[in-house]
Structure 1
Amino acid sequence: MIHVFSTRKDKPHAYGVHKPSDPSPYDNELPYEPIEFAISKDGKSWVSDFDVPDLDGVYCYDAPAVVPATQTDNLTKIGIHDGQQLISSTYEQREMTMSCHVSGMDEADAQLAFDALQRFLVSREGYWIAFSNWPQRMYFVKAKLASPAWTGNDWTVAVTLTDLIGLSRSIGTTLDHVQGFGNNEPFTAGYSFSNNSFTINNLSDVLIDPERRGHPFKMTLSGSGNNTIVANKSTGDSITRKGAWSGKFELDGVNPYLNGNHDGVNTDHGIITLQIGDNQFEVSNFNGSIQFDFPMWWLS
């Protein structure tokens, strides 16, 4: 299981309602509900801002809202046809904004806190970021901090996050059985099969396309077969593993492997894509189990 956010029990939180007998002062309480955020290089190992000692007292009070998707269309004029023909369409990078605040420090500590936030978020390389108020999705970003706005020893700062992919991605894949609200969820356990006819549900907002879009996708057949064909009847895609084989045949993106060794020479170089929604699969000349491992992608 992927753990994104802090497991500490004394997380900062907004003022609550207390009985007169409760101890005072109330540690880790704020006049607003802080939004936890976490970052990861690989989408699997995460570091939360609540677990970084240098960020004590630095809180996100405004996370990115639902972000519009930005499309770029490639068009061409054909003869004297009216209008233009759509050749291709891609989602482009977009900008999101989060806002952070530090309070209750002297000026020197507040300066150090800003420096710590910058060191946590600013990187030459892109990375994944997730927010606790929408915890099922992550964005691949680079960050840029504005100059802090000071009020006494307090400061606020706007952080611009450039979403380099232009889509959000599920935290985890179909094999992690990630569940959540508001992402066409929950995932079901329906991504491993031992029969030869089944349905794969792509809960994304886009076609899963490992060849043209570079989407992570892994299909693993464990067993044996002879001239095995895996066909997505909904899209017309298929791949054939020619001849007899046994062990583990894997299609990782567009690259086929047999028992860990490159096996493209023994295939028809087919690919598999997944349309939005249901995909009807049929597997021929195979005995064993088949498993699908891929993340979901969403517009927001």
Structure 2
Amino acid sequence: MRLTVTFAGTPEPVPQVLIPGYGDQRIPQPGAWEFTIFLYPRGFDAKYPPPIYFHSDNYDPGWTGWQIDGLDGESRYLPVDDWAFEGHTFTLTADLSGYFGIPKGDAFSTDIWVMPSQHNSPPTGYESPASYFPFYSYPTYVCPQASAHQRQNPQPTTSTGGPSALQPRSTSIARNSPQQFADMDELGFRNSHARCDADDEPAATARTAQSQLVICVQNDYSYYYRGVRLSDQAPSEYWNVQANYIGWVVTNGSVTYTISEDGLEIADAGDVLAHEAMIEYRAG
């Protein structure tokens, strides 16, 4: 994905300054402005998946590059492929092919926020070098409004705006439609235990030859799993659910259920008990 942000002013890398009395240790210059880019794969209003963050790494004196955060819904950092400041624009290129929240091969729209922040001096009276790390000051608005588009063969992605554009714009999202799966709707499987409650949304709905299953997300961003064994219609429901880089891991005691676009793997204490090939998988 290639992302370009155009500003009303001229964005620049944050200068690094020496910490007095601590050799070559440096901090971001107090008073300097920077920004973080928030990418919402399915739009601002979607509960799932969580946003991806692009931000500079100003706290490593040996590297002043940009990195990606939140790829698996947790704190996992990866460097972007390349980035550049030029005039009023900032451009970066990043490989998001391994991120579970982006449908493989689907065209879809997404939303972007650009959050400016300013480095402030730390309070007086601190003695350790860590105390010199400036504190952030955030404005009361988010800018600019932006959108991005990703295709199977990625094309340049552009977002535009300026300080006067204070409110983000939501865009429509083309995703797998429930009509593609006759017995699925917006809550999961019809007439099945593998279905979310009315106030929740499916983060993933999937079917193997042996099972129906759904991962549901609540308003507080917690997840639960519901499944049905088709041979005898036996239901199951578990609340220990975590996202990972390929899909989902559901834990019930020593038993884990790993769900991805490739299939459902069931293991007990690490020993694989079964692997069911995926027939249908719908993210979101």
Please report the TM-score for the alignment, with normalisation by the length of structure 1: 0.26
Q: State the structure with more CA Rg.
A: 1
Query: Quick check: which one's helix share is greater?
Result: 1
Please report the TM-score for the alignment, with normalisation by the length of structure 2: 0.27
